[in-house]
Amino acid sequence: ELGFKLEPNDEIKSNLEEIKKFIQKWEAARQKLPYQTDGLVISLNNNALFEKLGVAGKAPRGAVAYKYPAETATTVLEDIRVSIGRTGAVTPYAVLKPVNVAGSTIRRATLHNEDEIKRKDLRIGDTVVVQKAGDVIPEVVEPIKKLRSGKEKIWKMPRHVGGVDVIRPKGEAVARLA
């Protein structure tokens, strides 16, 4: 009535069982939408009750975001390289055999830092599970260790990049150019 564009697939449900069925229905059907979505918003359709429930921080208690599990795929971790940020941060990233995930071809993914690579026990040559975190940012989830051949290589942070020393101050996760 006020001229706002509405989601044409919006539905009013009366109970949790109906909401669960709606969530299940759209898990597969969302792939056919003309836009990407990683979930649904479930909101009370009673303004007085919505207001009475109030807000926790910035989040209204009368609404909740339901996120679908991220789409995953497997590929090969072909190499680990580093990029240099504007502050001199040295950040490792994965070079992947191209794979399609959630509608786009993934060739690179952040690995965050050296500790994260060690925590996940990632090795060059591993077959890995990748996803798009929040259906946006490419991420290496884990290696598939049972597929290891023994030819995989453990990666080490380079000591120098472009002739400049790489240092990692004690207690910090990020390595930097000296």
pLDDT at 121: 98
Which H or E run includes 52? helix 47-53
pLDDT band at residue 103 using 50, 70 and 90 as cut-offs: confident
- What is the per-residue pLDDT for 12? 95
Q: So what's the pLDDT on residue 23?
A: 96
> 134 pLDDT exceeds 80?
no
**For residue 115, what pLDDT is reported?**
96
Report which secondary-structure segment, H or E, holds 67: strand 63-67
Q: Which residues contact residue 108 at a Cβ distance below 8 angstroms, ignoring those fewer than 6 apart?
A: 93, 94, 95, 96, 138
Per-residue pLDDT tens digits for 5-37: 888 999 999 999 999 999 999 998 998 988 878
The position carrying tokens 């090795």 is: 123
Kindly state the DSSP code that residue 31 receives in the 8-state scheme: G
Q: Which two tokens stand for residue 16?
A: 């949790």
- 68 or 147, which is more confident? 147
Q: CA geometry: angle at 127 spanning 121 and 131, to 5°?
A: 85
pLDDT band at 45 (very low <50, low <70, confident <90, very high): very high
Output the pLDDT for position 178: 94
What mean pLDDT is predicted for residues 108-136? Answer: 93
Confidence of residue 49 (pLDDT cuts 50, 70, 90): very high
SS3 content of the chain, % helix, strand, coil (to 5): 20, 40, 40
Q: Provide mean pLDDT across the span 122-146.
A: 93
For 1, 67, 78, 121, 137, the CA distances from 142, given in Å and listed in that order, are 49, 21, 14, 8, 15
Reply yes or no on whether the pLDDT at 133 is more than 80.
Answer: no
Q: Centre a 10 Å sphere on the Cβ of residue 144 and count the other Cβ atoms it contains.
A: 11
**CA distance linking residue 43 with residue 105, whole number of Å:** 34
- Per-residue confidence band for 69, with pLDDT thresholds at 50, 70 and 90: confident
Residue of 92, 76, 71, 90 whose CA lies nearest to 143: 76
Instruction: State residue 140's pLDDT score.
Output: 97
**Which of 38, 9, 22 shows the shortest CA–CA distance to 103?**
38
pLDDT band of 148, cuts 50, 70, 90: very high
Helix (H) or strand (E) holding 114: helix 114-120
What is the pTM (predicted TM-score) of this model? 0.74
Which two three-digit tokens encode residue 92?
A: 């490792």
